[in-house]
Structures are given as C-alpha cells and as structure tokens.
Amino acid sequence: MKIVMINDAAFVGETLLKYMPAELEKQHIKRSRNLWSKTFGIALKILRAKGDVYHAHYLLQDCYIASKLGKKPLIGHAHGSDLRDEIKKRKWGWIIKHNLRKCAKILVAQPTILDTAMEFNQTAEYFPIPFDPKIFFPKPLPPEREEKQVFIASTHDFRVKGTDKFLKALASLSEPVKIKSLMAGKDFAEAQQLANKLGLNVDFIPKVPHDKMSELYWESDLVLGSFSIGQLDTVAIEAMACGRPVVHSVSRNFFKNCPLEELENVEETTEIIQKLLVDKKDREQRIKSQTAYVNSTHSAPLLAERLLEIYNELYADCKR
C-alpha cells in the first residue's frame, strides 16, 4: 500500500508519517505559499502522484484539486480555521463544503469543529494533534531562581490566540518576570506596542525551526499558549510534552479530560500564573497531570496506529 500525503499543517502530517511502518510506501507532496506552488505547481504534483490512499491537509485548494483529479480514496483533514472561519466565507466556503461531501473520510484536529464536519460527512472523526516524543520530551525544571522565565509560545493574533490578554495578565504580576515571545503573527507590531505601554520587558525573538522549539520550552519556568477561542493548539501540546506547566484556555465542553482551564478574564489568569510561579508544588502537580494527558492522547506513535487503521480500512474498501 502506498500513501500520498498532500500539504501539511503545523507538521502534523510529517510527524505522523515518521511513525508509520517502514514497509509502508509514503510520498509527501508539499508546497509553499508562492502563487505557482500553491496552484498549478501543487496540481501538477498531485496529478502525477500514484497511490492507494490520499490524505490532504486543510479542506482548501489542495484537497479540492485531489478530488477533482479523481484521487481516491481521499481523506480530508481539517485543522481548525478551515471549518471555523473559512467555511463561512464566499471565497472558500463552497470549496470546503465540496471537499466535506466528496472525501471518503474526514478527520478534524479539534473537537470544536466536529459537529460542523458531520453536517456534511458522517465519517468525520476527531483526530488529536500529535507531538513527536523524540523531539518533545520532559526535562527537569530549571533551578529555582528569583526571576522566573515565561515563554509566550503562540504567534500574535489577538482574536484567535488572545496573546494581548496574556501580556496584560503578566503586567499585573506582583513580581517581575523575564518574558520571551515570538516575532510572529499579524498583530506582532501591536503586541510590541502593548508590551511597551504596559511596561513589560519582553524579549521578542525570531521564529525558530519546529525541532528547536523544545529548547525554548525547556529553558522556561512557565509556558503560555492561547487565551481566545478554546481549542487546544500544537504549542500547548508540545510544551506539556516537554514537562513544562502550561496556561492555555480550552473549552470545557469539548476538552473535559484536559488539565487546562477555560480562562474567563485577565484577573483570573494573573492569579493562575502568579501561583504557578511562586508555588513549586503547584507547578509539579500541573506538570504531572499535563504530561500524563498528552502522552495518553497526543503521542504520535499512538495516533499513527489509529491512522494506519484508517488507511487499511479505506484501502480494503476500494479493493472490494
């Protein structure tokens, strides 16, 4: 059996393929954001690809092209924004709905979008975001220090990631902290201005390669993910896997077993952060529960086993 994976999202496909059996033939078709690459370039690559199962990330043009070129069976993998935002827009909505109806199987990376997917395709299944345990694994916390280091791991998008609220929460702490944050996101300039206005000393650093993110987690006493829309993001999962306490807002309606809060406001968030920074036992307890959760739910080897089952089922159905 040969698997053809098309595009990727936050290294999900690449990570899953890494843990597939060595004897499984695999081809990963990638593209850039260059106009040619994401249109005619990707179409030509998909046209030439020969496989037994096709797996497309994001329910956008790549999945649509594969569908129109008759690539079957086709798995459409939704990652959040496609079914949360883009499906409502005139430009992409019709393409996403077409992909939902035409794919043999739909996977969704967030339980928050599962109901939307199932309106169009009853095969839809919540498939958690994987982390690579060879890259993201626990290390001891840094030695106790007076000035703790906090890493804001999400890119700056105030509506989706809510990093502005984390900056406001950090500004309300009773003791100063060292803060690192990425120079990334559509609201990065506004984040810089807000940090200056709040009197925060933030070390804004360039984005690093994915396999180097673990080093930023390990050097931190606390990692902040997202505040806003209630979904569980890759950075929070990987930081938890690295053995760091994480503050990140999730919807309790969808993540009942996840040891993260549904953050209500800046004041509550400040209290949570403050306690974690001063109370070593609280940090250790959070690390224990969060590490157990991600290892049981998001470990790539476990999820690769489930994905292989899906591939085998679709392949068998095609041979009947």
- Per-residue confidence (pLDDT) for residue 32, from 0 to 100: 85
CB 200 within 8 A of CB 170: yes
Which string of DSSP letters, residue by residue, matches the chain? Answer: -EEEEE--STTHHHHHHHTS-TTSEEEEE---SSTTIIIIIHHHHHHH---SEEEEESSSHHHHHHHHTT--SEEEEE-SHHHHTGGGSHHHHHHHHHHHHH-SEEEES-GGGHHHHHTT-TT-EE-PPPB-TTTS---PPPPP-SS-EEEE-S---TTTT-HHHHHHHHHT-SS--EEEEES-STTHHHHHHHHHHHT--EEEE----GGGHHHHHHT-SEEE---SS----HHHHHHHHTT--EE----TTT-TTSS------HHHHHHHHHHHHH-HHHHHHHHHHHHHHHHHHTBHHHHHHHHHHHHHHHHHHHH-
- How far is Cα 279 from Cα 167, in angstroms, rounded to an integer? 21
Distance (Å, whole) CA 172 – CA 93 = 41
Task: Name residues whose C-beta falls within 8 Å of residue 85's C-beta, 6 or more positions apart in sequence.
Answer: none
Residue 224 tokens read as 């902040």
Comparing CA positions, the residue from 299, 303, 302 lying closest to residue 136 is 299
- Distance, in Å, from the CA atom of 270 to the CA atom of 253, rounded to the nearest integer, reads 23
What per-residue confidence (pLDDT) applies to 93?
A: 95
Residue 169: what pLDDT?
A: 98
Q: Is the whole-model pTM more than 0.85?
A: yes
Which positions ≥6 away from 121 have C-beta within 8 Å? 100, 101, 103, 106
What is the block-wise mean pLDDT of the chain (320 residues), using blocks of 10 residues?
96 97 96 82 94 97 96 96 92 95 98 96 98 98 92 96 97 93 97 97 95 97 95 97 98 96 96 95 96 98 98 89
**Residue 276's CB: how many other CB atoms inside 10 A?**
21
Q: Which domains does the chain have, with CATH numbers?
A: 2-129+299-319 (3.40.50.2000), 149-297 (3.40.50.2000)
CA–CA gap between residue 246 and residue 224 (Å, rounded): 6
Structure tokens at 13: 């496909």
Phi-psi domain of 279 (left: phi exceeds 0; alpha: psi -120 through 50; beta: other): beta
pLDDT of residue 243: 98
Give the pair of three-digit tokens for residue 213. 């993110």
Structure confidence at residue 35 (pLDDT): 78
pLDDT of residue 105: 98
